[in-house]
Amino acid sequence: MITGAEAMLRALLAENVNTVFAYPGGSIIKVFDALYDHQKDLKQILVRHEQGATHAAQGYARVSGRTGVAIVTSGPGATNTITGISDAMLDSTPIVVIAGQVGTDALGTDAFQEIDLVGVTQPITKWSYQIRRAQDIPWAVARAFYIAGSGRPGPVVLDFTKTAQMQQIDFKPAKIDYVRSYIPSPDPIESQINDAIQLIDSAKKPLVLVGHGVELGNAEKELAAFIEKSRTYCRNRSRAAEPEDLFEYLWPRTGS
């Protein structure tokens, strides 16, 4: 039997996590205590602000191709992550934010540094869940990483109560590759595609605005073929996705 805090770290290891960006606090201190025994297999990068933890997790996810992890405390520590979570949602970056929370007996009592993090983050995450029991840790972590990294990637928040951190659990890692009602890659609607084709064909000066999704979908060749066939102008928001051999069709660059 191990504590929920230790189970959380083992669940992260089961998802092949080897780096976490973290800032300690009272409601998450049990996880940091457990981190001390994982110095060889979990690298903790101590940030100077919780927002920095989420942005660092974003950068790590972008360059590594893996899901970034941020660990913070409750209350102001949790709310400091909102900008990074929102940015990850808009930029389709897979991160999992694990935030400490007061004990289950104190929920809803306006306890010290209690905040309804699930309610705050639901509109800006792919999934937001409060872990109240240690037995839910393996399932919740496996589901979090599956949702964050599948389909259009994005952020997931796990609100980790102190009660769940201190409870004992016979840990067994979980594996999830399916969630009912969650469709990572929905089938395109042909009627909408036809509508888009008609709009492009009827446009006098069509302009393609290229974003990060082209890279995420490995669709650079398809983009180049589309630009060449339609002879549209292209203005990029993601330079790496821009077809370099189609400069004659591209919108002129600025001097910046």
Is the pLDDT score of 151 beyond 80? Answer: yes
Angle between helices 50-64 and 82-90 (to 10 degrees): 30
Least confident of 115-129, 183-197, 220-234: 220-234
Say whether both 148 and 84 belong to one domain: yes
Confidence of residue 256 (pLDDT cuts 50, 70, 90): very low
- Tens of pLDDT, residue by residue over 92-142, are 999 999 999 999 998 888 888 899 999 999 999 999 999 999 999 999 999
Say whether both 32 and 111 belong to one domain: yes
SS3 108: coil
Distance CA 51, CA 242 (A): 30
Angle among Cα 58, 83, 9 to the nearest 5 degrees reads: 50
Q: Which residues does 116 contact at the CB level (< 8 Å), separation at least 6?
A: none
Say whether both 139 and 94 belong to one domain: yes
Confidence of residue 224 (pLDDT cuts 50, 70, 90): confident
Q: What is the CATH number of the domain that holds 115?
A: 3.40.50.970
Q: What is the mean pLDDT of residues 189-202?
A: 91
What is the torsion angle, in degrees rounded to the nearest 10, for the CA atoms of residue 117, residue 120, residue 126 and residue 130? 20
Question: Of 112, 138, 169, which residue is a domain's last?
Answer: 169
Say whether both 137 and 243 belong to one domain: no
Instruction: For residue 86, give its domain range.
Output: 2-169
Per the structure, the count of domains in the chain is 2
Say whether both 89 and 210 belong to one domain: no
Say whether both 77 and 153 belong to one domain: yes
Say whether both 208 and 144 belong to one domain: no
In this prediction, residue 145 carries a pLDDT of 98
Question: Of 140, 169, 198, which residue is a domain's last?
Answer: 169
Can you give the pTM of this predicted structure?
A: 0.86
Is the pLDDT score of 251 beyond 60? Answer: no
Say whether both 225 and 121 belong to one domain: no
Share of the chain above pLDDT 70, in %: 91
Cα separations (Å) of 167 from 5, 30, 111, 170, 249?
A: 8, 11, 20, 10, 62
